[in-house]
Amino acid sequence: MQTRRIATQHVSSIGLGCMNLSHAYGVPPSAAQAESVLLGALDVGITLLDTAALYGFGANEELLGKVLSGQRHRYMLASKCGIFQENGRRVIDGRPATIKKTCEDSLRRLRTDVIDLYYLHRWDKQVPIEDSVGALSELVTAGKIRAIGLSEVSATTLRKAHAVHPIAALQTEYSLWTRNPEIAVLDVCRELDIAFVAFSPLGRGFLSESLPDVSHFEEKDIRRSMPRFSAENMTANLGLHRYLTQLATQAGCTIPQLALAWLLAKGEHIIALPGTTSFSHLKENIGAADCVLSAEVVTALDKLMHTHPVNGRRYNAATQTEIDTEEFS
């Protein structure tokens, strides 16, 4: 497995996003299946595991704490604060006192004394980013966390935060069908020596061998509210998927491997963070680290946003107000 650097620690170039083991895509897998994926990830060389207080409203952190409490030396543990459940509803709260309390709760659920990489999951726009990062820096000083990350913020906000305390990693969506990090923040991460962690690098299932059937999404599947996954937009994006199938065949790999190999080739500071509930898919994903794409295929993939533009925005209007990333018009 190739490695990439976050702060002073080297991790696998392909990590594991643990969200869908507890959250967001309908009924989560059984405890036994989730345990198989987590332990299997470590066994095949994945050394970055990513969770959050939000995922399953604490259940995902509890899962990792239970399954991996004796394995902490084998991986870098990343979690997030700033979004959680309160009185049955999802709340964004970046106040310093809330961040510190959320961290204590996460440490307890994760059964650990320190979190290696702790992200502000969303910037609470009612709180100056300097205040939220200041609270995180105090957690570093206290030895509760080792490094600070941010999620879904713009280049401007990233610079403001980095001026308060070094930011080790920025996490945002980046894939063949979500290219907005290329507007500014990807370059700023390179400039400031910040790792860029790409979540949903497989397009929430669109960048797979077979397209997800939107008519069979479970009731609590978050893709139901995402414009790109409307039946109309999925039909409009069929041409893009067919073209990716052709390019994957040309490259001698699967579509997920094509997507991940392209992403890793975009910069040495980029780490891919796919999620899965399937150990077979996990093994397929890490095979991307061995894929070497020809210049012709890379050029075709780079031009994809112009030759086969994506129909539909990635978030609905309400969710879009919660994030701070640059967006293409």
Residues assigned a catalytic role: 55
Cβ–Cβ < 8 Å for 240, 306:
no
The strand pairing partners of 55, in sequence order, are none
The SS3 of residue 156 is: helix
Residues 6+ apart with CB under 8 A from 81: 53, 98, 99, 102, 103, 106, 118, 119, 120, 121
Contact 95, 86 (CB under 8 A): no
Asked if 3 and 32 count as a contact pair (C-beta separation under 8 A), the reply is: no
249 contact partners, CB below 8 Å, separation of at least 6: none
CB neighbour list of residue 84: distance below 8 Å, 6 or more residues apart: 53, 54, 57, 58, 90, 91, 93, 102
CA distance 281 to 296: 27
Residue 215 makes CB contacts below 8 A (sequence gap 6+) with 231
The burial of 143, by beta-carbon neighbours within 10 Å (0-12 exposed, 13-18 middle, 19 or more buried), is given as exposed
Q: What are phi and psi of 31, to 5 degrees?
A: -60, -40
Strands 76-81 and 270-273: unpaired
Alpha carbons 37 and 275: distance in angstroms, whole number:
10
